[in-house]
Amino acid sequence: MNATTRTLGLALLLGSFAGGAAAETLVVNDQVTVRETSLATPGRGLTMTQVEKKFGAPTERHPAVGKPPITRWDYPGFSVFFEHQWVIHSVVTAPTP
């Protein structure tokens, strides 16, 4: 496990304790930062159908990998990760204005 993977894992873990606070996991040039945000992203537990209904079609759909299957959808400014058909995390990939 490389340092970037460990850092992302830690950021995801810490983000899960945020409760009702809105935060974004920002990844720029392989550097991970967690900060407050007003950017709307899909919440954990939504289905693919619910995400597409609320946010529209993604700009790119990546095929599922691994077991359990993890799928990534890319939107302008964020990516959504699914396990099977449910959101497990959303990651902001560009700074919010």
pLDDT at residue 9, rounded to an integer:
53
What are the start-end ranges of the H helices in the chain? 3-16, 48-55
Tell me the whole-structure pTM to 2 decimals.
Answer: 0.65
Q: How far apart are CA 12 and CA 83, in angstroms?
A: 15
Tokens standing for residue 76: 């302008």
**Closest of 38, 29, 18, 23 to residue 91, by C-alpha:** 23
At 85-97, the pLDDT tens digits run 999 999 888 765 5
The pLDDT assigned to 65 comes to: 96
What residue type is 13 in one-letter code? L
Domain locations along the chain? 3-92
